Amino acid sequence: MWILHLDLDSFMASVEILRHPELADQPVIVGGNGDPTQPRTVVATASYAAREHGVNSGMPMRTALRKCPDAVFLPSDMPAYEAASAQVMAVLRDFPVTLEVWGLDEAFIGTDTDDPGALARKLQQAVLDKTGLTCSIGIGDNKHQAKLAAQFRKPAGISTLTSADWVEVMGERPTSALWGIGAKTTKKLADLGLHTVNQLAAADPAELATRFGPTNGPWLRYLALGKGEASVTDTPWVPRGHSHETTFPRNIADHAIIADHVRSFARRLAAEAVDEGRTVIRVTVKVRFVPFITQTRQTKLESPTTDPEPIESAALAALARFTLDRPIRLLGVGVEYTMPRSA
């Protein structure tokens, strides 16, 4: 079986350009309410014209404004992006493949075709013809390889990365090039003298286990060897929980205001659990203090429920276990659901 990873190019920005064709040749940045001067908002997506100025997803909007002052800044419109994503996935489901949706803008595709490149070209063309969106596709023996390959020739490219050419293509790249290895782990690996994929692949598993834990350590080497999940499933993903959070424009310290936000989040989550036919078993409160210290507290419910009263009480009980002696910049509440027996 071949595995393909389809990644929609600068998805949110591309959807906005479809809605506003006059923006086609301009740098477009999507995020927050569209006001780049608003504090503590980040870039959700930047068009490729904006990326040429050094703007990337996750960057503070104020930084994006400094890097690209002539950009068009637009607010996020999640319903529009969800609708566009649904269109794309419907196009893909018309093909005789196994489709595993991984988010609004990406999916893995399993196929037994003898010519995955030809299939990739057909998928790209169908998505473009029916939705107006472009995508990049990676082809591999497993999900890890396909995910990496999809980034090689963006936008609108097709690339292949397999076990046969893994060492040649990836061996001398930095460990941060691997899917799932972020900046913190990269630094820790560098402290061990492991800077490249080849060096990590040749590392002592016991030493990695000591440094990163008995599960994570070997998993890092597993990635460096080009390994990854080699199956695709079309079974719908069932979330274990849901959460809401907000970053305040200005730090808050008033305990009553903090509690009101927690109550509001808890009741909103209870209503959403009813809408989704799920029951809540655990509530978590997340607080990010100034300057950037994040803590969580959790409360387990006496029995699964969708009743907003015990969910709110559990959230407030979790909040009470924080020492609120400093202003906070972010507040969130999450719930964990009971899982269906078949999930």
> Measured between alpha carbons, how far is residue 318 from residues 311, 315, 329, 335, 337 in Å?
11, 5, 18, 12, 17
Rounded Cα–Cα distance for residues 94 and 123 (Å): 10
Q: In what order do the strands lie in the sheet with 45-46?
A: 45-46, 28-30, 72-74
Rounded Cα–Cα distance for residues 292 and 53 (Å): 28
* Residue from 22, 52, 82, 106 carrying the catalytic annotation: 106
- Look at the chain and count its residues: 343
Closest CA to 179 of 149, 141, 213: 149
Q: Is 106 part of the annotated catalytic residue set? A: yes
Q: Which helix (H) or strand (E) holds 64?
A: helix 61-67
List 42's β-bridge partners, or say none: 60
Q: Is residue 107 a contact partner of residue 92, using CB atoms and an 8 Å limit? A: yes
Rounded Cα–Cα distance for residues 252 and 270 (Å): 25
Which residue has tokens 């597993």? 222
Rounded Cα–Cα distance for residues 18 and 22 (Å): 9
Contacts of 204 (CB under 8 A, 6+ apart): none
3-class SS at 250? Answer: strand
- Catalytic residue ranges: 106
